[in-house]
A and B are shown apart, each in its own frame.
Chain A
Amino acid sequence: MTLNSWYFAAQLAVIACSAAVWCRVAHGKRLGEHFPDGDVIPPPLVGTIVIFLAFFVGFGGADMREQNRALRHFAQEEANQARSVLKFAEGVGPSADQLREALIEYLQSATTVERRWIEGNSNDNAPAQPMVDALVLSASIFTVQAQSPDVIKSLLINSVERLRQARVSRLGASRQFASLPEWLAITVLALIAQAMIAFVLVGKPRATTVTVTAFTFAVLSVYVYLAWVDGLIGTSKAAVSVAPLQDVLRTVTY
C-alpha cells in the first residue's frame, strides 16, 4: 500500500493538530502536576528521537532520489531506442511501414492508457504490453522478409530488444513509491518528538510553544520535500515516466 494525496493530507493534519494540542497542554497546569521539580525527562532524549527521525528521513529521501534518477534514465533510454527504430523504419521506407506503425501505436498507448495505469497503481496487466509484443513480432517479421544486410537487421532487433528491456525497468521504477508504513513510521517519530519536547519543557509554556512550532514546521517541510521527491506533489512519476516518449511521438508525421 502506498501513500496517496488523502493519506498525505491526513498525516500533515495529524502532525499540525498534535502540535496545537501540546502547545495548549503546555499552557495548562495539569502537565506540571505530573512532573514535580526534579522529576523531568532529560533533554538528550529529544535529541535522540530527532536523530532517529533525521536518519529515517535522510535515508528514505536518498532512496527516493535514486529511484527518480533511475526512472529518468530508463525513460530516456527507451525514448532513444524508439527514436532509433523510428528513424530506421523511415529510412528503409514502405517495407518497414508495419514496424513503424506498431511503434507509433505502442508510443500512443504508453503515453495515454498506460500513464493512467501507472497513476492508478493498478495490479492489472500493463495496457501497452500487447502493443510492445506486436512491435517485437513486427520487427522479427521485418528481419525475415526484408532484403537489408544482416548487420542492419541485427541492429534493429537489438534496438527493439533494448527498448523492451528499458520499458520493463521504467515501469518497475515508475511504480516504486515509499510505502505507507514508511510514512507512518516518520509520522509516529514526529509525534513522539513533539510529545518529548513538551515533557522536557514542562513549566515553560512559551518555550514549549516556540520549540514545538519550530519542530513541527521543520517536519512539515521535510514531509513536503519527501512527497515532492516521491512524485506525490509536483511532477508525478507517471509524467516523468512518459515525458521522453511523448517527445518522440511529437516528431511523428503521417
Chain B
Amino acid sequence: MGYALLRIAGVLGLMLSSCITAGAQDSPTLGKIKQSGTIVIGHRDIGIPFSYYDGAHQPIGYSIDICLKIVDGIKQELGVKSLDVRFKEVNASTRIPFVVNGTIDMECGSTSNSVARDRQVAFSLTTFIASPRFVTKKDAGLTTLESLRGKTMSAVAGTATLRTFSQLNSRSNIGLTIEPVKDHATAFEMLDTGEVDSYGAVDTSAFSMVAKSKHPDRYFVSQPLAVDAFGIMFRKNDPGLKAIADRTIRAMFKSGEIERLYVKWFESPLPRLGFSLSMPMSKALKHAIASPSDSPNPADYGG
C-alpha cells in the first residue's frame, strides 16, 4: 500500500515537473527570461493611473502593480528566486512594434485589446474597461458628438481612441478634423490654448488631464462613446507566458486584490500627483472581474 502511494506520488511529481517544463518550452519569452535572468517591461510616461513615473522616476501604476504580480508568477514558474526587472518607456506608437520585435517582454500601460491588434500581439485577461470620451471647454457649449460638426479634435496617435473617433466621424459624417499628436499633454494643451475645439481620450486620461489642469471646472467631459478592454500585452504565440499572466490575474480577481488595487489607483489620491480620479468601478469592469475574459468584443463585457 505504502509503496503504491509512493509510486502515485512519484508519477504526480513527474507530471507536475513536466507541466512546468512544458510551460517554459511553450514560451520563447520564458526561455529568454530564464536564460538572461532579466525581464523587460514596457511602460508609459504619463499613462495615469496605469503607468507613470513617481518622484524617483520609477514607473508606478495600476498596470505596473499587476505586471509585478505576473513577474512573481514567472519567478515561481521558472523556479528562480529573483529576476532583474528592467523598465523601458514606450509610447502609443512604439508599444506594439516593441513587443513584436522583442525589445520588451510585456507592455504594462493602457493598451486596449482589439481584433486588429490580436493579429499581431496577445493580451492577458482584461484588467480594465475604458471608454473613449471627448473633453471641451464648458463655455464652448459642445456637449454631444453631433455638436462637434466641423470642429477640430486633438488625440494621441496610435491609440484606439483616435481610431474610434475616426470611425464615428466617418460613419456619422460629422466632418470633425482629427489632429493626431504624440502624447496626452500636447493634446490637452492644444485644447487649453484654443488650438483645437476638443480633446479625445479614454476616460482615465480625460479625467486625469482635467484634474491636473489649472481650472478643472472649466472643462466638460462627455458621456462614454464606446467600450475598450485593456489588458497586459505580450508577444503572440506564447501560450506559456499567457497562461502565467491569466492565472495571476484570475487569482487577483478571486482574492479581491484587484478591488484593493482599484481603490488605490482610481479612488484615492495618486502617488506623486496628489489628486484622485474619483472614478467608481464601472459595471463593465465588475462584469469582467466576475467573468474573466480576454475578448476584444465590447459585447462580452455587458456593454
**Residues in chain A within 8 A of chain B (CB atoms):** 94-95, 97-98, 101-102, 104-106, 108-109, 112-113, 116, 127, 130-131, 133-134, 137-138, 140-141, 144-145, 253-254
A-B contact count (CB 8 A): 72
CB distance from B197 to the nearest CB of A (A): 12
Shortest 9 CB-CB distances between A and B: which pairs? A134-B93, A112-B179, A254-B170, A137-B97, A130-B182, A97-B116, A109-B180, A105-B180, A105-B157
A113 CA to B93 CA, complexed, in Å: 17
Q: A105-B180, A108-B180 are in contact. Are A134 and B116 (CB under 8 A)?
A: no
Asked if B276 lies at the interface with its beta carbon under 8 angstroms from chain A, I say no
5 inter-chain pairs at a CB distance below 8 angstroms, sorted by A residue, are A102-B93, A113-B179, A113-B181, A116-B195, A144-B100
Q: Which residues of A contact B163 (CB under 8 A)?
A: 101
Scoring B residues 101 to 121 as 1 if CB is less than 8 Å from chain A, else 0, what string do you get?
100000000000000110110
A145 touches B100 (CB 8 A): yes
Q: A130-B93, A134-B93 are in contact. Are A141 and B100 (CB under 8 A)?
A: yes
Chain A at the B interface: SS class: helix
CB distance from A61 to the nearest CB of B (A): 35
A144 touches B171 (CB 8 A): no
CB distance from A72 to the nearest CB of B (A): 24
- Beta-carbon nearest neighbor of A101 in chain B: B163
A112 touches B120 (CB 8 A): no
Q: Which residues of B contact A98 (CB under 8 A)?
A: 96, 116-117, 120
A168 CA to B119 CA, complexed, in Å: 32
Q: Which of B91, B120, B162 contacts A130 (CB 8 A)?
A: B91
B167 touches A254 (CB 8 A): yes
CB distance from B102 to the nearest CB of A (A): 10
B178 touches A108 (CB 8 A): yes
Within 8 A of A (CB), among B155-177: 157-158, 162-163, 166-167, 170-171, 177
Q: A98-B116, A108-B179, A141-B97 are in contact. Are A131 and B157 (CB under 8 A)?
A: yes
Q: A105-B157, A116-B195, A254-B170 are in contact. Are A144 and B120 (CB under 8 A)?
A: no
B171 touches A130 (CB 8 A): no
Q: Which residues of A contact B120 (CB under 8 A)?
A: 98, 141, 145
Asked if B152 lies at the interface with its beta carbon under 8 angstroms from chain A, I say yes
CB distance from B163 to the nearest CB of A (A): 6
